[in-house]
A and B are shown apart, each in its own frame.
Chain A
Amino acid sequence: MSLSVVPAHWLQGGLSAADEEGFQAPGIESFWWPLIGSDTSNWTLTRPAFVVMASVVIIGFFFLAVAGKLTVVPSKRQWVAEQAYGFVRNTIARDVIGAKDFRPFVPLLMTLFTLILFNNVMGILPFVQFPSMSRIAFPIVLTLIVYVVYHTVGLRRKHGVVGYLKSLVPPGLPVWLRPIMFFLEFLTYFIIRPLTLALRLFGNMLAGHLMLLVFILGGEYLLVHGSNLFVQASGILGLAFGIVMTFFELLVQFLQAFIFTLLSALYISDAVSEEH
């Protein structure tokens, strides 16, 4: 078990780099970070899993504390909670799903948005600095839930399997076009949508974190092990750019949380709507 900020094999890499093995570029192994358990076990408690659980505790306590003493005239803390809640409820749920049907999906969208946003921002929060969503397991779980929800809603709203499959083809198409459209829509609804939903979030977080690692570890290596002033200066430049990219990451992290929630709402609205 190592609760250190930097995983053990990085330290080893740093040591081996000092042993004239050269710079070890961060890679896939940088995303494996066990806390309790071995490298080969399927039931190892990983650090991102721990962060996800901690995020549930923090988000849950914050919103429970706010909801415990709501007032018509909001306090400062309630105002913050209301901003998040109002954003998901009005901007995402109500505007996308429609004022008639949005209400039952607010808890789902709220859970998705707060969980993803909090864990994404953990990617640049000092001492945590690891986006949990760069571990594919979490996007897959969230996507599966959305997948099940929008198909269930679609089956209920469109009167069973046949009605649901029929509703995939837009009305008023010529007969010869219908099989092609059905095939395309089926692919979209059942394969492409969940795949892209999970991979978009995962890919953005993985790539963003990897980029920060490259700039900061590379810059550090150049600065510490650089043989002349020019190389060390480029190391400083790399570190400075790493800081700039950190702020850029903040934007990406918010956007990805927003997009994931927005698309979930969009898929649900497709299932809820009467036509199509």
Chain B
Amino acid sequence: MVLAPVKAAEDVGWPEALPLLPHPAEIVIGIIAFGILYWIFSRKVVPRMEAMYEERAAAIEGGMAQAEQAQAEARAALEKYNAQLAEARTEANEIRESAREQGASIVAEMRSQAQSEASRITESAQRQVEAERQQAVVQLRQEVGSLSTSLASKIVGESLEDEVRQKGIVDRFLAELETGEVTPEKVAPAGRET
């Protein structure tokens, strides 16, 4: 069959043969080569490769599930921390608020205390002043009485020994003085007249 043209060109042989003419030895070697390689791939390489692919797919899926779980855990932890943070913040706010209130109330209390203290002090001082004034008034009255009596007795020359009369005159004079019926300006001319 294919060998016929080669036989015809016996003198030159394969170097001059048509390039489309297959060389029998090469055909046989090609078949053997393909057979060996096919056997290696179909029996050894491909099954193992496929098994490894499946294993890898399983490993990747497992890894992904693990990663998902870890992510969920992390998210839960974050939420927890956030909640705690918010709680702490409101607590701090409350504490600050109450401290402010407390401070304000302390200040108010202090202020009222100080005010009452001040008013008490003022009151007692006023009372003291009043008492002293009263005392001074009484003393002054006595002294003015005796002074004016002695002055009057010296001026008039009349002894006014009767205590009741004396007291009556002085009192009347002072009362007139207080009510304004007799002004001090008028006293001197009146005294001079009398």
Contact = CB atoms under 8 A, between A and B. Distances in A.
A and B associate in one complex: yes
Interface of A: 9, 28-29, 31-32, 34, 37-46, 48-49, 52-53, 55-56, 59-60, 63-64, 66-67, 70-72, 82, 85, 89, 103, 106-108, 110-111, 114-115, 135-138, 140-142, 145, 206
Nearest to B11: A40
A110 B41 contact: yes
Given A45-B25, A56-B37, A110 B30 contact: no
Contacts of A38: 13
A66 to B, nearest CB: 8
A178 B30 CA distance: 39
B114 to A, nearest CB: 82
B22 interface: yes
A55 B38 contact: no
Interface string B90-118: 00000000000000000000000000000
Contacts of A34: 14
Nearest to B20: A136
Given A52-B30, A56-B36, A135-B23, 20 more contacts: A28-B17, A28-B18, A29-B16, A32-B15, A40-B10, A43-B25, A44-B23, A52-B33, A53-B33, A60-B40, A63-B40, A66-B45, A70-B52, A85-B45, A103-B50, A107-B41, A114-B37, A135-B22, A137-B24, A140-B22
B33 A115 contact: yes
B37 A46 contact: no
Interface in B2-46: 3, 6, 10, 12-27, 29-34, 36-38, 40-42, 44-46
Contact of A107 (B6, B20, B30, B42): B42
B26 A63 contact: no
B9 to A, nearest CB: 9
B24 A28 contact: no
B61 interface: no
- Mostly, the A contact residues are helix
A109 B91 CA distance: 72
Interface residues of B, number: 42
8 contacts: A28-B17, A34-B14, A43-B24, A49-B26, A64-B45, A107-B38, A110-B46, A135-B23
Contacts of A59: 37
A141 B21 CA distance: 13
B49 interface: yes
A12 B181 CA distance: 173
Q: Can you list the 9 inter-chain pairs with the closest CB atoms, starting with the nearest?
A: A40-B13, A137-B26, A141-B30, A107-B42, A137-B22, A39-B13, A107-B41, A32-B15, A29-B15
Contacts of B31: 141
Nearest to A34: B14
A111 B16 contact: no
A138 B52 CA distance: 33
A9 B15 CA distance: 10
B27 A60 contact: no
